[in-house]
Structure 1
Amino acid sequence: MPTRKPFITQYDLAARLGVGQKTVSRALAGEPRVAPELRARILAAAKKFGYRPNQSARSVKSRRFDRVLFLQLVETADSRIDSGITDGISDGLAEIGRSLVIERLVVPDFLAGGPAPRGLQEMMVDGVLVHGNLDPSAQIEVVLASSGLPVVWVNRVLEHDAAYPDDHGGGRLMVERLVAAGHRRIAWFDGMLGFRPAVERHYSRIQRHAGYLAAMSAAELAPRTLSPVKDPGRDGQFEWLLSHLRNLPERKRPTAIACYGSYEALTVLHAAGRLNLSIPDDLSLILAHHESLVAGIRLEVAQVPSEAMGRAAAALLGRRLANTRRTQSVIVPFRVLSGSSVQSPTT
């Protein structure tokens, strides 16, 4: 097994060359106080003996760490965020010469007296990107503000220092795609919109539905929102939708359904199967999702721009780190990914 070379320090170089450590440090830093011949000797020795600067010490001294904390605010320990967001952030930070540190904060645990995020306690990062599904509590806002670090939010609607999807545009885009295919009886399905208090709804549920309503109005079509007004339980949404569609006469049944997300789309697929409705022959289906492949089925999708949003957030933080006091937020558009679940209506 090969032996590992010992680390060479500035003191080692100084001893080998018969000069002081400060002289070595100045030469390596390119300071003009060191004679050109001596600097050349020191640089040659550093290369020969494999000297590497102590990046940690340099970072502490300069207060620049070239690292960014991605703080994920989650409701439970097993909660997950879209990996596309993390990929976009990582790629975006690489473009500005910074690496990514990821930390998850279980919000209920923190509010019950748990520790603040380790990355904010140690202060070994240059800035913070924050993602959470609901607006943060005052305690979290205080912790972030007291760090003194630049903060940019991901997937939160703010005027400044945030990157978020154009969910209103996403809802509108789904209707426009269905109208272009010839549909006029277009329903919106969100299994949680009807009964959840406003403070417990992610803004995307409200905005996508608003986009649907706006597009239906623009097309002079009557909106039809499918959502239970009482909580049927997560497993009860299928039974609710099945009962609702079964009780509609065929001439009033929607020919197309636009869904908030993948869970709703799978519920529609299940209900359609029970009612012997073929997708897309009897019922067209479109949803908001980050990819068109859902449970092995390629569906028509208004793509949630997760990766682009992550990149945009990284770029915003890069501008903040370049001494910009605050930045205008970036709204990232959706786009349609073609699938096999939309066609012209037969009735």
Structure 2
Amino acid sequence: MAMVTISDIARKAGVSPNTVSRVINGNAEYVRPSFSKRAARIRKMADKMGYMPNAAAQSMRSGRHRCISMLAGHVHWGSAFSGDLLIGMQKTLSSLGYNMMLNILPKDEIEAGKELPRIFRENSVDGIFIGIMRSVPEWLESLIADMEIPKVWIGSKKKTDCIHHDDFGAAYDITRKLIGEGHAKIAYMDLSTSAEALDRCHFSVLDKMNGYLKAMKQAGLAPQVIRSPKTLLFDQRSAYARDNLFDKDMPTAVISYDLHFAGRSFLCNAWKKGIEIPGDISLATFAEEESFEDDLKISSFVPNHKFAETAVNLLYDKINNGNKPHKPAILPFDFVEGDTIAGPRRKNE
């Protein structure tokens, strides 16, 4: 079957090839109200005839290659994206005529200095999402800057060109919510980052804890931060939560840094001891998505539903404004009103 050309569409529509070209390529003149009906008719005809634009020719004309790189770390826990985030980003990119490819950052600085420019050049990348938020090499930022490609950091806190959640605000707000429910003995638990690692941790570790501490201080309440002085192995975390949380001075509410480690360690120990949630103790946490444990819907902060779309639009703006620096995009978490928060049944002694 012969390839449909712009001239074929022009003959069928009774207009000039130049008119068809401008309509298909989105020229502003042909999206004005007075031309909208004709433009819609031409586009519909092009679709019906099976017209496929020449991507190479479009790239030459526009200087855009319609390809975005998602740069990930070589360990999965160091990267900022989930399947839902990738799907959301690709959907938004597709609506803008872009596709995304995944690239893995080499471990070695010299190798990365050779490989990344080659990968981006050979794949004609227009922009980069940097999805590495933990164990970020010190040399990465200068390496990316030297390539002068529009970039957006995902889940990292930078002076410009980044998008992340408001961890401090979320922890502050949930602590205030629990205080408003009548809780005075509220603990904050993080089993992922030890005290000895706080000088090199992800910003969310300190922001969440400091949001909690600020709310407790404002309310004149004594804080209780549960954090191991040394790094815990996976099989040590549940026991640490048991030994440091569930004693005679057990709080009436707990805020956990995450659901995966701290939250589930809390739940496991509570159920083993016959402690009712939220009757005996309330739980609020941070999770990747709306979550259930048995018949309990977990009260949790989850990623903002506009995160993927906002990230894509941020990079798209940089691609189209000459790569000018953009102020950080800071999004609130979405809150899931679950079944694990209630007023204290026990006295706040």
TM-score, normalised via structure 1 length: 0.79
Q: 2:257 is matched with which residue? A: 260
In structure 1, C-alpha distance between the alignment counterparts of 2:271 and 2:215, rounded to whole Å: 28
In structure 2, relative to structure 1, the CA distance for the partners of 1:116 and 1:218 (3 Å cut) is same
* Between 192-201 and 233-242, the greater mean CA deviation after superposition: 192-201
SS in 2 for 1:213: helix
| Alignment-derived partner of residue 268 in structure 2 | 270
Name which structure has the greater RCO, CA cutoff 8 Å, separation 6+: 1
Counterpart of 1:193 in structure 2 is 193
- Could you list the per-position Cα deviations for residues 10-69 of structure 1 after superposition, in whole angstroms to 9, with x for gaps in the alignment? 9x98xxx9xxxxxx9978656xxxxxxxxxxxx9xx979866442123314532123322
Superposed CA offset, 1:66-88 (max 9, x none): 33222223425997732333234
Q: How does 1:101-140 map to 2 (within 5 A)?
A: 101-108=100-107, 110-111=108-109, 113=111, 115-116=115-116, 119-134=119-134, 136-140=136-140
Q: Measure how far apart 1:283 and its partner are.
A: 1.1
Instruction: Report the equivalent of 1:217.
Output: 217
Q: Give 3-state SS (helix, strand or coil) of 1:188's partner.
A: strand
Classify 1:206/1:117 alpha carbon distance in 2 versus 1 (closer, same or farther; 3 Å).
farther
Matched, 1:285 2:283: yes
> What letter corresponds to residue 255 of structure 2 in structure 1?
A
Letter in 2 for 1:132: I
Structure 2 counterpart of 1:344, one-letter code: G
Contact 1:160-1:326 at 8 Å conserved across structures: yes
- 2:101 partner letter: I
Q: Which deviations, in whole Å up to 9, do the C-alpha atoms of 1:275-298 show, x marking residues without a partner?
A: 221111111111012333144541
Q: Which amino acid aligns with 1:259?
A: S
The one-letter amino acid paired with 1:277 is I
Letter aligned with residue 346 of structure 1: R
Amino acid in the other structure paired with 2:267: L
The superposition leaves residues 120-143 of structure 1 with CA deviations (integer Å, 9 ceiling, x where unpaired) of 132523211211122632443344
Does the Cα contact within 8 Å between 1:76 and 1:106 map onto a contact in 2?
no
Tell me by how many angstroms 1:146 deviates. 3.3
Contact 1:303/1:334 (CA < 8 Å) preserved in 2? yes
Aligned partners of 1:7 and 1:51 also within 8 Å: yes
- 1:337 is aligned to 336
- Rate the CA distance shift 1:117–1:75 in 2: closer, same or farther, 3 A: farther
Q: Name the SS of the counterpart of 2:116 in structure 1.
A: coil
Structure 2: which amino acid aligns with 1:323?
N
* Counterpart secondary structure, 1:286: strand
C-alpha deviations, 1:145-180, integer Å up to 9, x for none?
233221111111112111110000111122122112
Q: Distance in 1 between matches of 2:236 and 2:164?
A: 31
Q: 1 CA distance for matches of 2:290 and 2:136? A: 31
Structure possessing the higher radius of gyration over alpha carbons: 1
Q: Could you say what secondary structure the match of 2:125 adopts?
A: coil
Counterpart amino acid of 1:86? L
Q: Superposition pairs for residues 1-347 of structure 1, below 5 Å?
A: 5-7=1-3, 29=21, 52-76=52-76, 81-95=81-95, 97-108=96-107, 110-111=108-109, 113=111, 115-116=115-116, 119-134=119-134, 136-246=136-246, 248-249=247-248, 252-262=249-259, 263-296=261-294, 297-305=296-304, 307-323=305-321, 325-347=324-346
CA RMSD of aligned residues (A): 3.1
Amino acid at match of 1:208: K
Task: Provide the rounded CA distance (Å) in 1 between the counterparts of 2:265 and 2:232.
Answer: 13
Compared CA separation, residues 298 and 112, structure 1 to 2 (3 A)? farther
Query: What is the percentage of aligned positions where both structures have the same residue?
Result: 22
Q: State the distance in 1 between where 2:270 and 2:214 align.
A: 27
TM-score (norm 2): 0.78
Q: Which residue number corresponds to residue 31 of structure 2?
A: none
Q: For residue 149 of structure 2, give the secondary structure of its aligned residue in structure 1.
A: coil
| Superposed CA offset, 1:96-138 (max 9, x none) | x132313141553x54836327641325232112111226324
CA distance in 2: counterparts of 1:28 and 1:187, whole angstroms: 65
What code does the residue aligned with 2:329 have?
Answer: V
Q: CA deviation at 1:200?
A: 3.9
Is contact 1:71-1:131 (8 Å) kept?
yes
Cα deviation code 1:271-330 (max 9, x no counterpart) = 11222211111111110123331445411112332x422222212112212215121111
Matched AA of 1:194? S
Alignment check: 8 A CA contact 2:170 2:333 kept: yes
Residue 214 to residue 304, structure 1, CA distance change in 2 (3 Å): farther
Q: Gapped runs of 5+ residues in structure 1?
A: 18-23, 31-42
